[in-house]
Structure 1
Amino acid sequence: MALFGTIVNGVCIIAGSFIGMFFSNIPERYKETVMNGVGLAVILIGMQMALSTETIIIVLLSLLTGAIIGEWLKLEAGLNKLGEWIGNTFSRSSSDDASVAQGFVTASLVFVIGAMSVVGALDGGLRNSHEVLLIKGVLDGFVALVLTTTLGFGVLFSVIPVVLYQGVIALLATQIKDWIPEQVLNGFIVELTAVGGLIIVAIGLNLLNITSIRIGNLLPSIVTVGVIYGVYVLF
């Protein structure tokens, strides 16, 4: 079953979010320190991923083209509006809306952007192997717990983009081996991991309130890296 790992990953996020809700009333100073710890860990993960690149120019061009497309499409604004809609729908007061939106957007980006999402989904589709996504599910569950204690129940709704994103990759992977050589696929994953890693570093910097990077507008880089890597391989 190609989607087994993705489904388990989603269940872990839901479970972690629900558990985190029971700890949402801890003092603010604890939340602040915990969030700082999460931000530092996220930066470390992103740096490890970013350093995996074998061709830095592919990463640079992917981020530049992705940023242009993202700004043109105003993806960050769209994500925030979606988060605000969720907040308006499920929160009891307008003061909670921003927190719900931040929880949804931040958690979605943390869980979706990363090597394990892509590699795990590809493994599920290509080889019916779910070990990577099962491990990711456990990690995501703990991260969801921590994020929920600081950002609120908006984190719970991040399960929707995670399941959709990984599910689509897994289903496409069942056919991908027929038209993309394994060597090219492996090279693409390396560069995709590096691009995703830099975006994850940006998430960590935002969590620490060091920067206010419009991360949503960088998301097209995850797509443009495939196009740029394909051109690189051909020429």
Structure 2
Amino acid sequence: MIGTIVNVAAIIAGSVAGSLFKKGMKESYQEILMQAMGLAVTALGIYSIVKYMPDSNYPVLFIASLAIGALIGQKLDLESRFQQVVSRFSQGNLAEGLSTAILLFCIGTLSIIGPIESALNGNHTYLYTNAILDGVTSIVLASTFGIGIIFSAAVLFCWQGLLYLLAGSVAGFLTPELLTEISIVGGILILGSGISILGIRSFKMMNLIPSLVVPVLFIVLKNGLG
């Protein structure tokens, strides 16, 4: 799991560096950096949607995924539970930044394929590349939301660690078709995070997280019945 360890270390280092940068920053600079971060996250979400939407074989699956996932998330009240946990460590807007970080770090082709490729073939290239991207992103996020972004490293470790351990079992399920559908839903959630950061509209992003599971269940059931 050397690739995952490097990825996690990059996020930790970036979070520490970004938080140190934030401490010496005037409030006006923090505000403009928040706006810049919001625009960047919004752009990443739009990019993912535009990139993968044309390749989708199920044009309405993302709509159903968001609707079903939202109902499940609301029923479980994931947003409130997440806010309660985060509030124990911070009184600021860390929850917003942390949910954005988790989406950016975990929902991406490199973060999904990387640990599987590492486990099956000993190829850490995807994870090393992802580490560089996540390291830079964590610097910006931590300079905006604070040192609490470092907790996303633990989530990433659990996520990639699980994929690493289950590599042999899940590799066959992670078809380009499935990754496309997950990337579309993930892109929409990342777009929502960006809009929330910009203050245009506040979304309960954690309540929407279950939407990412719906395409997985759909593809598995379709292939099983087929």
Normalising by the residue count of structure 1, what TM-score does the alignment of the two structures yield?
0.85
- Which residue pairs with 2:89 in the alignment? 86
- Which residue pairs with 2:191 in the alignment? 201
Q: Which runs of 5+ in 2 are unaligned?
A: none
Number of aligned residue pairs: give it: 220
Tell me the alpha carbon deviations over residues 187-221 of structure 1, each in whole angstroms, 9 at most, x when there is no partner.
Answer: 11111111111111111111111111111011111
RMSD: 1.9
CA distance in 2, matches of 1:200, 1:64: 16
Give the AA of the match of 2:82. Answer: L
Tell me the alpha carbon deviations over residues 136-186 of structure 1, each in whole angstroms, 9 at most, x when there is no partner.
Answer: 211111111111122111111111111111211222113334xx36xx622
Counterpart pick for 2:16 among 15, 18, 21: 18
Tell me the alpha carbon deviations over residues 74-119 of structure 1, each in whole angstroms, 9 at most, x when there is no partner.
Answer: 11111111111233xxxxxxxxx23444443332333223333223
Normalising by the residue count of structure 2, what TM-score does the alignment of the two structures yield?
0.88
8 Å contact 1:47–1:201 — kept in the other structure?
yes
Q: Secondary structure of 1:37's match?
A: helix
- Which residue pairs with 2:139 in the alignment? 145
Q: Secondary structure of 1:157's match?
A: helix
- Which residue pairs with 1:132 in the alignment? 126
Give the AA of the match of 1:148. Answer: A
- Which residue pairs with 1:70 in the alignment? 73
Tell which deviates more after alignment, 10-19 or 59-68: 59-68
Tell me the alpha carbon deviations over residues 49-94 of structure 1, each in whole angstroms, 9 at most, x when there is no partner.
Answer: 223031222211111111111111111111111111233xxxxxxx
CA distance in 2, matches of 1:226, 1:117: 16
CA distance in 1, matches of 2:68, 2:119: 29
Is residue 162 of structure 2 the alignment partner of residue 168 of structure 1? yes
Tell which deviates more after alignment, 124-133 or 6-15: 124-133
Percent identical pairs in the alignment equals: 33
Provide closer, same or farther for how the CA distance between residues 175 and 232 of structure 1 changes in structure 2, counting only shifts above 3 A: closer
Give the AA of the match of 1:170. Answer: Y
1:29-108 residue pairs with structure 2 within 5 A? 29-51=28-50, 52-53=52-53, 54=56, 55-87=58-90, 97-108=91-102
